[in-house]
């Protein structure tokens, strides 16, 4: 059996997987020398492999010549069964949310450098803002982007920004923007005028994994409905949105082993 396994060995692939598996269990990244010590190899043995992983976007070079995993592997996983399962679980909640608020809503995730709409529920009446599934929206000036950034650790947030901007350089965000993200995290939601459509407000709340990270943002592009009978106002709509996001987060927690 051992001879059969040796026959199909792929040393270069093994080196790449060793690097990925090592970095996956380390917070803050490692230098080449530290990786060599952990893997009991000379740095020269995996220098080329590490360079390829950086060029392909699986590993990022951080300050101080440290290397850390990017979110690319997470993004690849998101594009497979977990996202489909999340959408499947979310659909009835999103339908109920639309009926209660008389507003459209959508679910977005961060996927390989982009904020992507993965599910959309139309408003039940004549009027509503619709965003096509698969649309990519801004990380910086949308409610979905703010929520996805606010509920991530600093290092992971920095990687998201790098992937979104397509730059390998450390991003220096304005202090006002960072304060806004802190505020979003503290209050548990984002409420902001739309940067794209006049008269519209983005109401966004996080769908949280058990560890507190936002795996998705549930957003209502709120339009005041002046001719609708007993339509909820913005405050009531926000409360219903947050309640729905909390219910989805609880569902994610019970399904962690299955899907997320």
Examine the pLDDT at 35 and tell me if it is beyond 60: yes
Q: State the fold for domain 75-254.
A: Beta-Lactamase (3.30.450)
Residue range 2-69 forms a domain whose CATH class is mainly alpha
Dmax (CA) of the chain: 76
Helix (H) or strand (E) holding 67: strand 66-69
- Picking from 87, 100, 106, 75, the residue whose alpha carbon sits closest to that of residue 204 is 106
pTM recorded for the entire structure = 0.68
Whole-number mean pLDDT of the chain? Answer: 83
- Picking from 86, 132, 119, 67, the residue whose alpha carbon sits closest to that of residue 260 is 86
Bridge partners of 66, per DSSP, are 62
Quick: pLDDT tens for 172-186: 778 899 999 999 999
Quick: pLDDT tens for 200-248: 789 999 999 888 899 999 999 998 876 656 778 899 999 999 999 999 9
- Of 258 and 69, the structure prediction assigns the larger pLDDT to 69
**Given this model, what pLDDT does residue 153 score?**
87
Residue where the block lists tokens 């961060």: 110
Residue where the block lists tokens 């569902």: 251
Domains of the chain, by residue range, sit at 2-69, 75-254
């Amino acid at each position: 059996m051992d001879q059969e396994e040796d026959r199909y060995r792929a040393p270069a692939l093994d080196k790449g997987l060793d690097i990925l598996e090592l970095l996956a269990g380390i917070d803050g990244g490692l230098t080449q020398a530290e990786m060599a010590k952990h893997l009991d190899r000379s740095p020269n043995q995996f220098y080329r492999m590490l360079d390829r992983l950086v060029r392909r976007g699986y590993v990022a070079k951080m300050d101080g010549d440290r290397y850390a995993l990017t979110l690319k592997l997470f993004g690849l996983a998101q594009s497979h069964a977990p996202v489909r399962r999340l959408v499947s679980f979310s659909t009835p909640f999103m339908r109920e949310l639309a009926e209660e608020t008389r507003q459209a809503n959508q679910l977005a995730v961060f996927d390989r450098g982009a904020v992507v709409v993965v599910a959309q529920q139309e408003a039940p009446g004549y009027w509503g803002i619709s965003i096509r599934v698969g649309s990519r929206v801004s990380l910086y000036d949308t409610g979905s982007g703010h929520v996805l950034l606010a509920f991530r650790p600093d290092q992971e947030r920095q990687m998201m920004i790098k992937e979104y901007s397509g730059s390998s350089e450390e991003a220096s965000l304005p202090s006002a923007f960072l304060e806004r993200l802190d505020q979003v995290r503290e209050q548990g939601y984002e409420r902001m005028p739309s940067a794209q459509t006049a008269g519209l407000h983005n109401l966004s709340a996080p769908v949280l994994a058990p560890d507190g990270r936002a795996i998705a943002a549930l957003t209502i592009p709120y339009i005041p409905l002046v001719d609708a009978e007993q339509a909820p106002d913005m405050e009531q709509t926000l409360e219903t949105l947050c309640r729905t996001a909390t219910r989805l987060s609880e569902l994610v927690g019970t399904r962690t082993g299955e899907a997320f």
